[in-house]
Structure 1
Amino acid sequence: MKPIKLTMTAFGPYAKKQEIDFSKLENRKMFVISGKTGAGKTTIFDAISFAMYGKPSGDNRSAADMRSQFADPKQPTEVELLFELKGQSYFIRRAPQQQKPKARGDGMTSMSASAELYELKEDGSQLLLASNVRDTDEKMNELIGLEANQFRQILMIPQGDFQKLLTAGSQEKEKLLQKLFQTHFYKRVEDVLKEKSDALKKEAGKALEQQSLLLKGLPAFSSSMKDLLEQEDVDKRAVFGQMETDLTEMNSQQRECQNKGNELALKRDQLVAEKERGIAIHAQFDRLEAAKQEMDRVLKQEPIVREWQKQMDDAERAEKLLAYDLLEQQAVQAANKAEQRFKEADQQKKAAEQRNNQASERLLQEKEKQTVRDQAAAYLQQLEAMKASVLDYQSAREEAVRTKEKADQAEKRGKELAGQEKKLSEVLHQTNQQLQSVQTAKETFMEAAHHIEKSKGLIDLYREWQTVQQTILTHERITEEIKEQYKRKEQEAEEARQLGQKRRINWSRGHAAILAGQLQDGQPCSVCGSAHHPNPAASASDHVTDQMLEEAESRVNALNLESRKVEQKWVEAKSSLAHARENGDKLLMKLPIGFQMDQAMAELKEQEDRKSCAAEEIELKEKTEKTLLDLKGKKEILMQQIEQNQQREKIELAASFEASSVLKQLERAVPESMRDTSFFLAQWKQAKEEVQFLQHNYEQAASEAHAAHTALQSAASVWQERMEALEAAGQSKKAAADQFQQRIQEWGFASIDEYQSAKQHLEQLPLLKEKVTAFEQKKRDAAHLIKELQAALHGRSRVDVEELDQRIKGINEEWAALGDQAAALQSQINETIRIRNKVEEISIQMKKAEEAYRMAGHLYDITHGKNELKITFERYVLASFLEEILVAANIRLAAMTNGRFLLERLAERSKGNAQSGLDLLVFDQYTGTSRHVKTLSGGESFKAALALALGLAEVVQNYAGGVSLETMFVDEGFGTLDPESLDQAIETLMDIQADGRLVGVISHVPELKERIDARLEIHQSEEGSTAAFVFAGES
């Protein structure tokens, strides 16, 4: 960072606006700030520090205390700094929280702190980077790469702080070097190793606990296993040995159960086969009885079947006469149709004779009207000759009226346009006057918009902070709820584990009781082999089945899983709560000190009102200018319309005069009674229709007379034809009737009624045949089945199936008991094997976890400082950076002390638990020994501190960790040096100018002011201080 121009207003002893233009130094890289005590030398540093960080350069002063006591109360305190960083120019403006007179009334009001940061472009434009204190602080920290206290220790070393870096302890140096060299990553390595170590330790503990629970749940098949499991500390090796013995015995007993079960199954299958054969014989006897009953039902239907056979024979004979019956019916229908057609022809003939007589009489009447037709034609001819003149007269009269109206309209339009022109001129005059009265408001609008944006940013920030506070309350409530839920889940899981252990013990006892129930005196026990059973296991009242045991263990696993899930949610909830609190703190730090929401809302309302008023004025001006432009355009168009209307008025008057002349000529040619076109056309139309009507009636009468005569001749011819057809149909009808009667007698029917009765069964003939055939088939089938079953059952009797069922049931019960015993053994075998495999799997996992834990824990101890040097991993890295800094610092310290002193790092571990690794010693060539830097004298300490600061700046600049160290300010120390040491210190400072670094020194030492040709002199007066650069050779 390199300052270019510093501007202070009402800041410290500077009552008015004070500019310090560092660009006046030109190529000079060192200057002295001189003045009397209290004049304001250190205030220069305070102003630069305040502009960049919002804090003065010393810890004993606050930003609010920097308000000038000499300033006018209305003059606000403000600092502006134009500076260059990494080749880019920036401008920052800050104002501390302060009191100002109220805008209305007496008294003072509080003004919040403010800050703005701009990036200056090459084209002269400014880019706003931050507009409030919070954003400006964050952006400056990002740009500079140093916090305020680090800036003071490295670049701006005020009074009392010069030797802090030299004498600071390891922890203080660690914080500074962390920021400078960005070594937080190495600290993160320590944290990750700790998290990994803790997680592995917890994983191993959980695995050991799970292994113990599994072993406790082993089935106690033998008394030896029971004794081992009841011990407080289970001997895993002994349990595994007994487990193999128990598995061998359980497998042996299970095989014995399977052999007995196979023998019973074979015997049961034989009985089942015998039962199935008996059931088959029973079914055949039942079928024989059913077949005999079916034969009895069939024989009872024989009378009905004989009646069906008679109806079937009659229907077949009637079917032979159907063709003759149809011929006789067709002949009757033909005769009836011929009679009906003759009647129709007779009626048509009589109607034709009547129409012919009427048409002849009407034609005679129309011939007598010839004179009337001639008179109507003559009148129509007279009207046709007059028609053209009448139509011309009507057109001329309409044209005369139309041209007269258009001439009148043109005259009226001319008067209207003249009135509009007068009104428009008046409006133009008024609009010009209104435009002159509107003042420019754009500057007011922009200023108000800037303040509104600034106020809204603070208000939104405050509301966001309030929202975060509500979120914090919600997270606190949720975290507490999840914590209680976790406790409940842990309690439920513990209760379920106890229940599972209890059920496992009862389950084992229950299986022991089952085995004890199978013991017989004198027979060896399947478990221990003893033939004596003095104290067999008794069945417990709370017997536990395999399903109950499985349900209990499933519930334990489910609750353990739920508990882990709730625990994870609790951890996440606590993390969310911490994150929310951190966000709340960050937001609060970004708000100005003493921020008041009501005051901010009032200021926002005031600026919005200003902006609204300015916007209305701007809008009014724009509308007025547009209106004026529109009015001028309208007037121009109106003048064109007036000129056009004057030309039109002349043309319309000439046309009106010409139309009146033509009308007068036509009035002399048309009679007055016919001048009405509507009346004339109605007379002409009526005459024309009369002529057409008379002629049409005559022609129609002649046509109808001819048509009636033709129709009469046609009707007479049809009448004769149908008379002959009627006689022929009667003869055919009689012949068909005679032939049908003869055929009925031939086929054995006594009468037509008997034939008709037989004919009714024709539709049922297929069904009758089907019924008779089905009856005969059923009769044959029943007889055949009876004969077949009697032959198959000859010499046989029914089997007692119920007695066989009882014997099979007894064998099944015995076989099921063996199955239950085998299943119980298999369940114990499976559970034992499952637990054995799971324990072995966990053992492998435990071994891996323990090995990983030993490695991670060892690495964490080393990186956390539990080593011979008692130094953390991050501090070890920082120590290497410090070594580089000391190399650069010792070059300068040797030059300033004639090679007597060199700085070195204390590598030995500290006493007790104190962390070390960054403390400094000074090696004295005179004594050949090292001692603590705190033992140096005032002048020696100044040299060492100056050398260390310059070395630190050089190393940080070389690493370029985002930090630009182009400036250094020193505020004390030179007065403690003797002349030789002073020369050496000045030479050292001069050396760093080769890097282009600017060095400012506050000093009262005359020799220093003489050696450096640029001075910033501070002059003190009763009205406040002023500052100005003075260069060598100037008065």
Structure 2
Amino acid sequence: MRLHRLEVAAFGPYRGREVVDFDALGSDGLFLLHGETGAGKTTLLDAVAFALFGVVPGARGEVKQLRCDSAAPEDSTEIALELTVQGQRMKLVRSPEYERPKRRGDGTTKQQARASLTWLDGVPAGYPAEGLTRIDEVGRTVQGLLGMSADQFFQVVLLPQGEFARFLRADTDERERLLEKLFGTKRFADVEAWFRNLRLERRQELDRRRQGAREWVARFAQVAREEAPEEGLPDWVAGIRERAAESVREAEAVEARARSVQEKAETVLAERRTAAERLHRVRAAHRKLAALEEQQPELKRWSAEVEAAHRAATVAGVATQAERCAQELEQARQGEQRQAHELGEHGPADAEVPELRRLAGELREEAGALAGLVAEAEQQRRDERELKRLGEVASEARERTAVLSAKLTGLPEKLAKLRAGLEAANAAEVQLEALRAKETELVAGVRDATGLPAAEAALRRAEDEVRAATEHHLEAREHRLELRALRLDGMAAELAARLVDGAPCPVCGSGDHPVLAQATKGLVDREQEATAEAAERRAEQSRTAAENARHRAETALTALRERLRGRTEAELSTELDQVRVELARASALAKRKAELVAGTKEAEAESASLQEKRLAAENAVTEAETQRRTLAVHIEERGRRLEAARGEHADVSSRRAHLTGVVRALDALAEARLRRVTAEDQLSRRQAELREALERAGFSSVDELRDAVRPEKTVSRLEKKLSDAAKEEAAARSVLAEPELAGISPRDEVDLESAATAAKAARTEAETAVAATRAAASRAKDLDSIAERLEAEERAIRPLEAEFAELDALTDVVNGRGQNARRMSLRSYVLAARLEEVAVAATARLRTMSQGRYSFVHSDAKGARGTKGGLGLDVLDDYSGTIRPAKTLSGGESFLASLSLALGLADVVAAETGGALLDTLFVDEGFGTLDAETLDVVMDILDELRAGGRVVGLVSHVEELRQRIPTRLRVRKARTGSTLEVQM
């Protein structure tokens, strides 16, 4: 990377536009930014950093106040930087976010941040030729081309001596945080986390499998109805299964005997049930025949009633038709009288049907001639209403035109305000993604910081529990060993207690036992010893569980500390509050974007709509007036024709309605008179047919006929009763005629109850035996199934336990625990290797600057009290031959060490990030602590850095450097008037 040209305007202390030509300054490879304290030397470096990354290094970047306070309101704050990276020359232009006075009215408005990248010497592949204008795209492109982040750039290009002096004196954790920023070790941290997460997953999986095996043991014990032993589980399972199989065989034998008894009892019961059923059928048939004999008189009466109803049914229809004809005749006479009354004086009510038809035809023709004029009269009324409506339309259109013109007056100003607000919302939306990501990171950090005391307390509690569990385990083991010794001491008395006269001794084989050993006080038996062993196992399990809990607490605490990296909750909360304030402001603006977009579109649409509506209203006025004049002429001509046609009536419609009413009355009277004549003829025919039908059916009168009539349902019901009685009699006689009922008397008896009782008892006993067999078989099957699952679980767990033990040990090593003697995690190991490279590179320069006296010494030993190591950095003093801490160096020596370390770190980081040609370096302050001789040595080292075309810029207020490098450029600071000199 080589810088060519820097322009700053209204930035920091510089009110106007200042230009620094690095090509001219770097022609000799060395230049100086000189000035008194506060002259703005570091501001030029901040400008370079801001142009590249949009941020400035150190605490100055937290203030975010980059605009010059004394700049004119119309001057824009802007930084432009021309540089070459990897053979590509480009120009970066950035403007920070700042408040500026409003162009209209009082107060201020926010000027949004901007950035652009323009290619000056060809376009690299994959990038747009027109350059980039999005802030995030510019940032990603610059970082990709440089191959380093902003933090790395600030360390390896802008060498701040104060920070490296702190690095020399820092402890392991602080040094580790800085190195992590410079060397991308996140992937190694991810590996550590991956191992921890994998171990947690495998431990949980193993615990689940172990819990599953314990559950299968519990289920087996539950089915076996026995308590599972702590030892000898396979033998216990096999014994239970054998006893269950024997129970099945015994139950099957009992079931076979019970089934034989049941079959015999069921046979006897079936025979007696058959006999009882036959006796029941015989008795039922005799009862049915006796009941039918008693019902004979009633059956004969029903038969006669049904016969008369059938004869009456043939005549009832003719009688009903005659009655209906009489009713129709009466209705026709009444209708004729009504129609004659309605016709009244409008026509001859006593005329015959042909005369009535003729008069109605004449009047109908006259009414038809008036139909066309009726339609014209209706149209005349519609046209008069339309004429009035057109007048109202023209008036309303004139009023609407005036209202729309008034509304259109204020719309341009409203549109301008909406578009300005939308521009601010778009800029806020661009910032949201970065602010939200930072908020998420800080929220997680605050949560970790809040949980740190609890994690530390949890670790202390876990350690206390481990100590207590260890003590308890040792006490239990000691008690078990003591009981074992006591039992061994009393083993002779225990054997003597089981000896029987005449039986051989299990020790010597003799059948004589002249002197038996006697039990002493404190004799321990096998049960007491087993109880002590069980207590020891439980204590050991508790100890193991406590150690696992302590390990988990240590892992959780280490993870928290690694994520926090020394930051306190107050620091994180303060930064989080600041980010949330910015996020709330940006969110509030961004949330209004949709509203502003909609408002802008609505205002634009409203303007177009109002203009369109105003034009439509003006056209409506013209059209309504034209139609109104034309329609008035037609109304006047049609009115004269209608006046002549209405006669003595109110209008043509009234006259036509009168004629139509008379025609309807004449037609109705003719129809009514014709219906009356037809009804009289029909009644005469029906009465003659009725007399003939009564004579054929054997009825003397209509009244006798009506007495014989029965409803169809009644006839059907009586016929069904007669049919059912006949069927029942036939069925009863058919039953008595069956061969299998021959010889059975209704007075016979069958003993069914005793046979049923015996069969029920046998059935109950058989069902009980079957249930017992099924229960035994089900129990044996369940035990076999559970035992198989238990064996499968145990086979599956064994390789998992071996694999987890290996993973657990490896995870501890990767995370700096267990067999890791130096207590170095993988990430710390990588950083230690990088620090060793830095020490080697820095030593080469430090020995030259210190005239061979000092060298850097890297140590990978673990820290005090078992803390992690690998990042130790001391100084070897060749004068005394001792290695001493860097904190013991004097002020000038510390500057030499810091500068050497900064240059060495720059070389290593540049190589680590791909060796992007760092052709421009800046060394910031620290020269005031050197004497003249040492300053000569340092200047020689800086001269060496110019080899290969590299440009080195010095930032200092030391007067001697000003004497060494001639002045070429002076820049006056706006606020104090002090002068910054740029020399080469």
Instruction: Report the TM-score, using the length of structure 2 for normalisation.
Output: 0.53
Aligned residue among 951, 967, 972 for 2:920: 967
When residues 398 and 74 of structure 1 are mapped into structure 2, their CA distance, relative to the original with a 3 A threshold, is closer
Displacement of 1:139: 8.6
Distance 1:549 1:425 in 2: 107
Aligned length: 770
Distance 1:422 1:567 in 2: 90
Displacement of 1:385: 0.7
Q: Is the 2:7–2:81 contact (alpha carbons within 8 Å) kept by the matching residues of 1? A: yes
Aligned residue among 430, 453, 460 for 2:406: 430
Q: Is the 1:156–1:969 contact (alpha carbons within 8 Å) kept by the matching residues of 2? A: yes
Which residue of structure 2 aligns with residue 574 of structure 1?
557
Aligned residue among 977, 987, 992 for 2:948: 992
Aligned residue among 384, 401, 419 for 2:361: 384
| 1:129-154 deviation per Cα after TM superposition (whole angstroms, max 9, x unaligned) | 499xxx99x99999645858x956x5
Displacement of 1:668: 6.2
Distance 2:893 2:316 in 1: 160
Displacement of 1:36: 6.6
Q: Over the residues paired in the alignment, what is the CA RMSD in angstroms?
A: 8.2
Which residue of structure 1 aligns with residue 21 of structure 2?
22
Superposed, 1:786-825 pairs within 5 Å as none
| 1:853-881 deviation per Cα after TM superposition (whole angstroms, max 9, x unaligned) | 9x999x99999789xxxx99976776567
Structure (1 or 2) with the larger CA radius of gyration: 1
Distance 1:191 1:418 in 2: 82
When residues 573 and 387 of structure 1 are mapped into structure 2, their CA distance, relative to the original with a 3 A threshold, is same
Which residue of structure 1 aligns with residue 671 of structure 2?
692
Distance 1:128 1:116 in 2: 8
Which residue of structure 2 aligns with residue 534 of structure 1?
516
Which residue of structure 2 aligns with residue 705 of structure 1?
684
Superposed, 1:893-932 pairs within 5 Å as none
Q: Is the 2:856–2:874 contact (alpha carbons within 8 Å) kept by the matching residues of 1? A: yes
Which residue of structure 1 aligns with residue 505 of structure 2?
525
Describe the SS at the equivalent of 1:126.
coil
Describe the SS at the equivalent of 2:416.
coil
Distance 2:403 2:941 in 1: 84
Q: Is the 1:376–1:687 contact (alpha carbons within 8 Å) kept by the matching residues of 2? A: no
Aligned residue among 109, 126, 133 for 1:126: 133
When residues 174 and 117 of structure 1 are mapped into structure 2, their CA distance, relative to the original with a 3 A threshold, is farther
Displacement of 1:566: 4.0
Matched, 1:419 2:432: no
Which residue of structure 1 aligns with residue 373 of structure 2?
396
Q: Residue type of the partner of 2:406?
A: Q
Which residue of structure 2 aligns with residue 239 of structure 1?
none
Displacement of 1:639: 3.7
Describe the SS at the equivalent of 1:706.
helix
When residues 160 and 650 of structure 1 are mapped into structure 2, their CA distance, relative to the original with a 3 A threshold, is closer
Aligned residue among 610, 614, 638 for 1:635: 614
Q: Is the 1:7–1:81 contact (alpha carbons within 8 Å) kept by the matching residues of 2? A: yes
Q: Is the 1:922–1:931 contact (alpha carbons within 8 Å) kept by the matching residues of 2? A: yes
Superposed, 1:311-326 pairs within 5 Å as none
Distance 1:632 1:650 in 2: 28
Displacement of 1:380: 3.6
Which residue of structure 1 aligns with residue 571 of structure 2?
588
Describe the SS at the equivalent of 1:519.
coil
Q: Residue type of the partner of 1:534?
A: L
Distance 2:663 2:747 in 1: 98
When residues 761 and 678 of structure 1 are mapped into structure 2, their CA distance, relative to the original with a 3 A threshold, is same
Displacement of 1:382: 1.4
Distance 1:65 1:674 in 2: 92
When residues 568 and 381 of structure 1 are mapped into structure 2, their CA distance, relative to the original with a 3 A threshold, is farther
Deviates more, 1:385-394 or 1:545-554: 545-554
Distance 2:653 2:74 in 1: 105
Distance 1:923 1:497 in 2: 54
Displacement of 1:183: 8.1
Instruction: Report the TM-score, using the length of structure 1 for normalisation.
Output: 0.51
Q: Is the 2:282–2:736 contact (alpha carbons within 8 Å) kept by the matching residues of 1? A: no
Describe the SS at the equivalent of 2:361.
helix
Displacement of 1:456: 11
Matched, 1:1024 2:977: yes
| 1:88-138 deviation per Cα after TM superposition (whole angstroms, max 9, x unaligned) | 765677899xxxxxxx99xxxxxxxx998956365354333499xxx99x9
Displacement of 1:574: 3.1
Distance 2:75 2:918 in 1: 32
Distance 1:345 1:191 in 2: 107
Distance 1:175 1:640 in 2: 78
Deviates more, 1:519-528 or 1:971-980: 971-980
Distance 1:938 1:361 in 2: 142
Distance 1:380 1:448 in 2: 90
Deviates more, 1:381-390 or 1:558-567: 558-567
Q: Residue type of the partner of 1:7?
A: V
Q: Residue type of the partner of 1:19?
A: E
| 1:789-833 deviation per Cα after TM superposition (whole angstroms, max 9, x unaligned) | xxxxxxxxxxxxxxxxxxxxxxxxxxxxxxxxxxxxxxxxxxxxx
When residues 437 and 1000 of structure 1 are mapped into structure 2, their CA distance, relative to the original with a 3 A threshold, is same
When residues 178 and 1030 of structure 1 are mapped into structure 2, their CA distance, relative to the original with a 3 A threshold, is closer
Distance 1:72 1:356 in 2: 119
Q: Is the 1:434–1:624 contact (alpha carbons within 8 Å) kept by the matching residues of 2? A: no
Q: Residue type of the partner of 2:24?
A: L
When residues 26 and 439 of structure 1 are mapped into structure 2, their CA distance, relative to the original with a 3 A threshold, is farther
Superposed, 1:587-606 pairs within 5 Å as 588=571, 604=585
Describe the SS at the equivalent of 1:965.
coil
Distance 2:67 2:304 in 1: 144
Q: Residue type of the partner of 2:571?
A: L
Superposed, 1:589-738 pairs within 5 Å as 604=585, 626-664=605-643, 666-667=645-646, 676-719=655-698
When residues 708 and 182 of structure 1 are mapped into structure 2, their CA distance, relative to the original with a 3 A threshold, is closer
Deviates more, 1:567-576 or 1:161-170: 161-170
Q: Is the 1:92–1:118 contact (alpha carbons within 8 Å) kept by the matching residues of 2? A: yes
Superposed, 1:472-511 pairs within 5 Å as 472-473=449-450, 476-477=453-454, 480=457, 484=461, 505=483
Displacement of 1:384: 1.6
Q: Is the 2:970–2:980 contact (alpha carbons within 8 Å) kept by the matching residues of 1? A: yes
Distance 2:531 2:616 in 1: 104
When residues 966 and 775 of structure 1 are mapped into structure 2, their CA distance, relative to the original with a 3 A threshold, is farther
Q: Is the 2:969–2:981 contact (alpha carbons within 8 Å) kept by the matching residues of 1? A: yes
Q: Residue type of the partner of 1:120?
A: L
Which residue of structure 2 aligns with residue 5 of structure 1?
6
- Structure 1 unpaired stretches of 5+: 97-103, 106-113, 195-278, 292-296, 364-368, 722-755, 783-840
Describe the SS at the equivalent of 1:534.
coil
Q: Is the 1:902–1:922 contact (alpha carbons within 8 Å) kept by the matching residues of 2? A: yes
